[in-house]
Structure 1
Amino acid sequence: MKTKALSAILLATTTLGGAAWAETTLTIESWRNDDLTLWQDQIIPAFEASNPGIKVKFTPSAPAEYNAVLNAKLDAGSAGDLITCRPFDTSLGLYQNGHLADLSDLDGMANFSDVAKSAWQTDDGAATFCVPMASVIHGFIYNKDAFAELGLSVPETEAEFFDVLEKIKEDGSYIPMAMGTNDQWEAATMGYNNIGPNYWKGEEGRLALLSGAQKLTDEAWVAPYRALARWGSYLGDGYEAQTYPDSQNLFTLGRAAIYPAGSWEITGFNAQADFEMGAFKPPVQNAGDKCYISDHTDIAIGLNAASPNAEAARTFLNWVGSEEFANIYANALPGFFSLSSFDVPMQDPLAQEFVSWRGECGSTIRSTYQILSRGTPNLENETWNASVQVIKGAESPEDAGKRLQDGLASWYDPQK
């Protein structure tokens, strides 16, 4: 009888324990509302299959509203267990305000390099508070049909790049490049910080700017503006009023031959364009020069420090650091490249082309994202404006460099 009673107690305990654990539901906050189907159909089922005691809900907000919505939820104590992290200062602020937990001791963190983790660490690297998920790579996407029709070769140098643009313009069948300046950010993100690393030598220049060893008036930082100043002739009539969606449509409808791009466009372009696409990396200044690409740390995920389900959440975060997650995410969302140390084969040919540049070129991140946009004037926003003004011919490259340098020096001690 005692044995039967003990067995009954153990069974009840196990059943209750299992039931309690089965009721653990993790909620993920994110701005990537376009990823909802991916999470529901692929990522979450894969995790739940190997972790049957944990359920996961993906509850995104509109991208433009995410920061405000998330902060309001965190302040009210109603935010989800897992927080999708933007890079650098936005997430650093959440950590400093006690909203994100320190994940430095998470086993899965061993699968990421210091560079991969840098966007979600304190300035001294002592604490890491989000598990890196993906980066995006900058370059140019082009219409292969248009290039074949016009007998064009993929440019490798700056001179070849402008020669290709001139030939497309002379033919008149296509707008040479689809990019507008109405929304401003594209001019800096797909313009200045796309081509710029080849001039300032990637991380070497970016870190020199942080230390004060280089200034925005130096040739390496002004020269990309000189190149941008030539772009205006090739962007088509009315580019000044052209929005980001306008540019996407011009390219996918086959009206433009080249699109200054981030790899995040791949999925949408694959769905919308009915022509074959290729990609080429930012042209170097001279044949034989070492190339550099913007391989920008873009998205990660962290633990709400107030989550009542921290143990289950850490189980999920360890899985995000796994090879299984890296393969699912990178291939379900081509153009968002794994930051893990695993070798993740790409199935999409355009994604394969972008990620292959990692083996050829030095990688860096956007020059304005770490530390340099904490003050007023904000260097990121000022770079948007300067890039637009230079393309439109309203400001000289030299004047743009001086304006940005003066603004940075007004609040950033290493540049004073």
Structure 2
Amino acid sequence: MIDRRRFLAYVPVLGAGAAAAPLAACSSGSTSDGVVSVYSWRQEDSAGYAELFDAFSEANDGIEAKFEPYNSTDYDQILQTAITSGEPLDVIQLRPYAAGRQLMDDGSLDVLTDLPGIENFDSTMLSAATGSDGEVYGVPLARNALITMCNQEVLDAQGIDRPTTWPEFLNACEALLGAGITPIAQSGKDAYILGILYHAIGGAALTDAFIEAALEGSADFTGEEFRASVQRVFDVVPYAPKDFVGMADDEARNMFAQGDAAFYINGDYRVEPLLDANPDLKLDYLPSLPDSGDEYRLVNALDGSYGVAAESPDLEDARKLLEHMATQEFGTAFANIFSRISAVEGVEPEDGLHRKLVEDIQGHGITTVLQEIGGGEPDVKAEFENALQGALTGQIDQEEIFTIVQEAYEAGLER
């Protein structure tokens, strides 16, 4: 059995009610324009992909790849509209696990199991890009580490040591608050950000046994273990900005980058924009901390994969692009340009922080169950995130979170 505990797949899923129509029916009759279009939800990566794709073009007889990114929260609907309107599509960034499997299972995507270079990804990465038929439909992109980033300069100025347990972290937040410093720059305007917050701090509160039970279909999301992990979110509310649930992530990130907060909880993909905003930022990170002892966890995510539309008018060139994206050459360039962790095996990050993250993933990495058991209707992960946001804004009682998640979980088991 695949050891999924080492890896977390976490990204927003297809919106409620969005049923993927087959691409084949939409793009029949289209002709090649000599340009491979690449749909993505990563607008902030445009400049980096321009550099990566220029290198690909130079090495592949001038094949042009065009990066077409959209806002992350709008991406699923935009992709659905493109599919149903018959717009010719080439390469599509896929959500991992069940969320992307809708396209994998309806014949919309080209099979990539035999793509040269697909062997450069381990089974845990490929499992997130595999259809119900066991075939691979996506080239994995990157691992995301979900972490609490620290402004070490702020901590040092207050004489606060790096926390190693959850109680130490809360004590550090209390000391910062007493000194008139906002402890945590946190956003909650988009519900999926609250999911990141939960996974980054709550992962260490879940046992391997709970995770295995959830994957096997026998977990109780109304029980004490899951409750304790969710309680951590409510424990940090006093240390976040007032009304943080209405705050956008850009605002929270800027607070942290400028030294107006000591901690910022998100994914390691925020490291580069943080350092762009403040090159002098003394940056460190915390994994998910244990209640006691030293058995911390590093929750990490597959940030999707890239698949090829089965009826792409540029199918051969699109497959060449994905073949290139499966190489160590591309993985290394990707890791260095974006300061991220490539999904290609053997790629060593250039900066020390990401090298440390890779080591922590290898030794302490765990998965979350919410993505792997989600993707249906209702979706467990989306239901949890929306319920968490509702409880934080007083629209529902905290107790309702667990009933909502359990009901969505059980509904998935019945399908």
Classify the TM-score, shorter chain: 0.7 to 0.9
Which position in structure 2 is the counterpart of 1:15? none
1:66 paired residue among 67, 70, 75: 75
1:167 paired residue among 170, 175, 181: 175
2:35 paired residue among 7, 22, 25: 25
Rg larger in 1 or in 2?
1
Provide the secondary structure at the position in 2 that maps to 1:412. Answer: helix
Residues 160-188 of structure 1, C-alpha deviations (whole Å, 9 max, x = no match): 1111111111111x101111434333222
Which position in structure 2 is the counterpart of 1:11? none
Provide the secondary structure at the position in 2 that maps to 1:107. Answer: coil
Alpha-carbon distance in 1 for matches of 2:402, 2:129:
29
Q: Could you say if the C-alpha distance between residues 311 and 159 of structure 1 is closer, same or farther in structure 2, counting changes exceeding 3 Å?
A: same
Query: What value does the CA root-mean-square deviation take over the aligned residues?
Result: 2.5
Which position in structure 2 is the counterpart of 1:374? 376
Residues 246-292 of structure 1, C-alpha deviations (whole Å, 9 max, x = no match): 21222122111111121121111011134312112111121132x32
Q: Greater CA deviation, 47-56 or 391-400? A: 391-400
Shift of 1:142: 1.1
Alpha-carbon distance in 2 for matches of 1:287, 1:146:
26
Shift of 1:39: 1.6
Which position in structure 1 is the counterpart of 2:412? 412
Residues 7-26 of structure 1, C-alpha deviations (whole Å, 9 max, x = no match): xxxxxxxxxxxxxxx98432
Provide the secondary structure at the position in 2 that maps to 1:196. Answer: helix
Alpha-carbon distance in 1 for matches of 2:225, 2:413:
21
Q: Could you say if the C-alpha distance between residues 53 and 407 of structure 1 is closer, same or farther in structure 2, counting changes exceeding 3 Å?
A: closer
Is 2:140 the counterpart of 1:138? no
1:229 paired residue among 226, 234, 240: 234
1:339 paired residue among 323, 340, 343: 343
Is 2:194 the counterpart of 1:187? yes
Provide the secondary structure at the position in 2 that maps to 1:360. Answer: helix
Aligned runs of 1:253-402 on 2, under 5 Å?
253-273=258-278, 274-289=280-295, 291-335=296-340, 337-342=341-346, 344-364=347-367, 366-376=368-378, 378-388=379-389, 399-402=400-403
Provide the secondary structure at the position in 1 that maps to 2:141. Answer: strand
Residues 221-266 of structure 1, C-alpha deviations (whole Å, 9 max, x = no match): 1111222221111113333432322212221221111111211211
Q: Could you say if the C-alpha distance between residues 243 and 23 of structure 1 is closer, same or farther in structure 2, counting changes exceeding 3 Å?
A: closer
Provide the secondary structure at the position in 2 that maps to 1:185. Answer: helix
Shift of 1:53: 5.2
Q: Could you say if the C-alpha distance between residues 214 and 121 of structure 1 is closer, same or farther in structure 2, counting changes exceeding 3 Å?
A: same
Alpha-carbon distance in 2 for matches of 1:375, 1:153:
45
Alpha-carbon distance in 2 for matches of 1:238, 1:311:
51
Identity of aligned residues (%): 23
Residues 9-62 of structure 1, C-alpha deviations (whole Å, 9 max, x = no match): xxxxxxxxxxxxx98432222222222211212x11222232225332223334
Provide the secondary structure at the position in 2 that maps to 1:230. Answer: helix
Alpha-carbon distance in 2 for matches of 1:403, 1:73:
32
Residues 134-157 of structure 1, C-alpha deviations (whole Å, 9 max, x = no match): 121111111111111001111111
Alpha-carbon distance in 1 for matches of 2:213, 2:74:
34
Q: Which protein has greater RCO, CA pairs closer than 8 Å, 6+ apart? A: 2
- With structure 2 as the length reference, what TM-score do the two structures score? 0.84
Structure 2 contact 215–369 (Cα < 8 Å) conserved: no
Shift of 1:349: 3.6
Q: Could you say if the C-alpha distance between residues 55 and 229 of structure 1 is closer, same or farther in structure 2, counting changes exceeding 3 Å?
A: closer
Alpha-carbon distance in 1 for matches of 2:399, 2:66:
51
1:57 paired residue among 41, 62, 66: 66
Alpha-carbon distance in 2 for matches of 1:81, 1:361:
37
2:104 paired residue among 89, 95, 100: 95
Which position in structure 1 is the counterpart of 2:126? 117
Shift of 1:390: 5.3
Shift of 1:402: 3.1
Alpha-carbon distance in 1 for matches of 2:398, 2:43:
38
Provide the secondary structure at the position in 1 that maps to 2:230. Answer: helix
Q: Could you say if the C-alpha distance between residues 305 and 155 of structure 1 is closer, same or farther in structure 2, counting changes exceeding 3 Å?
A: same
Shift of 1:73: 2.9
State the number of aligned residues: 383
Matching residue's letter, 2:38: I
Alpha-carbon distance in 1 for matches of 2:140, 2:148:
25
1:219 paired residue among 219, 224, 233: 224
Q: Return 5+ residue gaps in structure 1 as ranges.
A: 1-21
Q: Return 5+ residue gaps in structure 2 as ranges.
A: 1-31
Which position in structure 1 is the counterpart of 2:50? 40
Residues 69-122 of structure 1, C-alpha deviations (whole Å, 9 max, x = no match): 333333444333212222223321122232211111112111111110122112
Alpha-carbon distance in 1 for matches of 2:386, 2:96:
21
